[in-house]
């Protein structure tokens, strides 16, 4: 195991150029455990390649000196660098492991929404009551017909109204207190990733349902926590949790289950259905069995957006109206398949275009439709954001699925 005497960098770090001075690079934290970016010289950067958990500081010093033509490098330089990195939680150290062991996941999307609860409640309310909003949910007993709901996970400033249309239907149509949130994974290389951590937001702590997680793990098997770190910066769960807390804080206590789903690129490239992949069908069956063993209603929240276009996503040309129109038509086609609860047809449209529009909601939507086969779907709201200079476009929707 790595120690401060034999330092090793921990996962989730990234390097970016220092725009202020090309003599430096910035080491930053993709997992957002630490806000303390580290400014490094290029020489210090070469030393980091020696932080492998196998060399002690004397061995690191000796190798660094050899690489520099036996230039004298005092041990203090390496001790100081290790101290800086450890204080920033950039090393696999007792400090880092203690941070990981905390049962609460801190919010990572402050800025997308206010840190102050009253301001956050006011912002969310406006999405319901504003000119394009659906109005606040009616205060009647829910009908209990809702099986699942597709929500966007784009930032609230662009997608807040679409969130509101979806969550209004959730409040009015489900009597569940357990919400299994199945979202797009943006940070994990694994297909399916769970976390047991409870989710902290300005509106309090949303507790995860440990019993459901135990059942799902027992039914699926090993591997669901192999990349749990990926939940720390992930927004596709958090942005749904905030809306749930806001809407249910005066109604009833709720619990969540946070599950993210990685890419289905392998199925897109081979032309087979995702359910032909062993791990996908294993998760579909595990979700079905876990629901059968759960003695209360469950509402499934699918967290996924639609198309991602433009230079921001590595397309060569700016996004103009002809492309936006074509993308809207393609979105309509896949949403109609989702409304018909046709998971195979939904996937086939995306696969036929080789997922060139980057439908990030494909994995969670397909998983839920295959696992639970609602009787019908209903599109509630659709929108398409386009950057005024064509740098990017993202489309998204909310949809309800009924028993």
99 exposed, middle or buried (CB, 10 Å; 0-12, 13-18, 19+)?
middle
- Determine the length of the chain: 403
| CA 266 from centroid of its chain's CA atoms | 20
8 A C-beta contact, residue 257 and residue 291: no
Instruction: Provide the 10 A C-beta neighbour count for residue 379.
Output: 16
Residue 350 to residue 339: CA distance in whole angstroms: 15
pLDDT in tens, 67-101: 999 989 999 999 999 999 999 999 999 999 888 88
Q: What is the pTM (predicted TM-score) of this model?
A: 0.92
> Comparing C-alpha atoms, which of 401, 81, 107 is closest to residue 233?
107
Q: Classify domain 104-402 at the CATH topology level.
A: Protocatechuate 4,5-dioxygenase; Chain B (3.40.830)
> Comparing C-alpha atoms, which of 286, 289, 294, 290 is closest to residue 220?
286
Write the Ramachandran bin of 64: left for phi over 0, alpha for psi from -120 to 50, otherwise beta.
alpha
Strand partners, 385: 394
pLDDT attached to residue 3: 62
Residue 63 to residue 374: CA distance in whole angstroms: 62
| CA 169 from centroid of its chain's CA atoms | 23
Find where tokens 């192999």 sit: 226
pLDDT in tens, the chain (403 residues): 456 789 999 988 999 988 888 889 999 998 888 878 899 999 999 999 999 999 999 999 999 999 999 989 999 999 999 999 999 999 999 999 888 889 999 999 999 999 999 999 999 999 999 999 999 999 888 888 999 999 999 999 999 999 999 999 999 999 999 999 999 999 998 999 999 999 999 999 999 999 999 999 999 999 999 999 999 999 999 999 999 999 999 999 999 999 999 999 999 999 899 999 999 999 999 999 999 999 999 999 999 999 999 999 999 999 999 999 999 999 999 999 999 999 999 999 999 999 999 999 999 999 999 999 999 999 999 999 999 999 999 999 999 999 9
Bridge-based pairing state of the strands 192-194 and 38-41: unpaired
Domain positions in the chain: 13-100, 104-402
* H helical segments located in 88-155: 94-100, 117-129
pLDDT attached to residue 2: 57
Q: What does the radius of gyration of the chain's CA atoms come to, in whole angstroms? A: 23
């Amino acid at each position: 195991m790595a120690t401060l005497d034999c330092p090793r960098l921990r996962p989730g770090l990234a390097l970016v150029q220092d725009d202020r001075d090309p003599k430096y690079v910035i080491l930053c934290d993709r997992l957002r455990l630490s806000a303390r970016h580290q400014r490094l010289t290029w020489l210090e950067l070469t030393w980091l390649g020696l932080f492998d958990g196998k060399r002690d500081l004397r061995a690191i010093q000796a190798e660094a000196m050899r690489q520099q033509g036996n230039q004298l490098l005092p041990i203090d330089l390496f001790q100081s660098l290790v101290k800086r990195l450890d204080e920033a939680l950039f090393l696999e150290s007792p400090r880092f492991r203690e941070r990981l062991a905390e049962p609460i996941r801190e919010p990572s999307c402050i800025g997308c929404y206010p840190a102050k609860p009253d301001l956050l409640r006011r912002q969310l309310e406006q999405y319901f009551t504003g000119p394009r909003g659906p109005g606040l949910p009616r205060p009647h007993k829910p009908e209990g017909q809702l099986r699942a709901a597709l929500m966007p996970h784009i930032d609230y400033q662009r997608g807040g109204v679409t969130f509101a249309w979806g969550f209004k239907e959730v409040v009015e149509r489900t009597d569940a207190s357990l919400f299994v949130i199945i979202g797009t994974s943006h940070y994990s290389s694994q297909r399916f990733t769970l976390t047991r951590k409870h989710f902290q937001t300005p509106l309090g702590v949303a507790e995860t349902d440990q019993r459901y997680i135990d059942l799902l793990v027992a039914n699926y098997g090993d591997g669901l926590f192999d990349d749990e770190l990926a939940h720390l910066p992930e927004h596709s769960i958090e942005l749904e949790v905030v809306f749930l807390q806001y809407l249910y804080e005066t109604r009833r206590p709720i619990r969540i289950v946070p599950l993210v789903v990685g890419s289905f690129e392998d199925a897109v490239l081979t032309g087979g259905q995702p359910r032909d992949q062993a791990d996908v069908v294993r998760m579909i069956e595990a979700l079905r069995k876990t629901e059968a063993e759960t003695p209360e209603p469950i509402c499934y929240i699918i967290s996924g957006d639609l198309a991602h276009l433009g230079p921001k996503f590595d397309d060569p040309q700016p996004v103009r109206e002809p492309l936006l129109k074509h993308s809207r038509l393609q979105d309509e086609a896949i949403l109609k398949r989702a409304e018909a609860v046709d998971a195979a047809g939904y996937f086939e449209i995306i696969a036929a275009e080789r997922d060139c529009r980057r439908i990030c909601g494909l994995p969670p939507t397909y998983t839920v439709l295959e696992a639970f086969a609602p009787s019908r779907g209903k599109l509630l709201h659709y929108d398409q954001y386009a950057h005024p200079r064509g740098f990017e476009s993202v489309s998204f929707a909310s949809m309800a699925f009924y028993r």
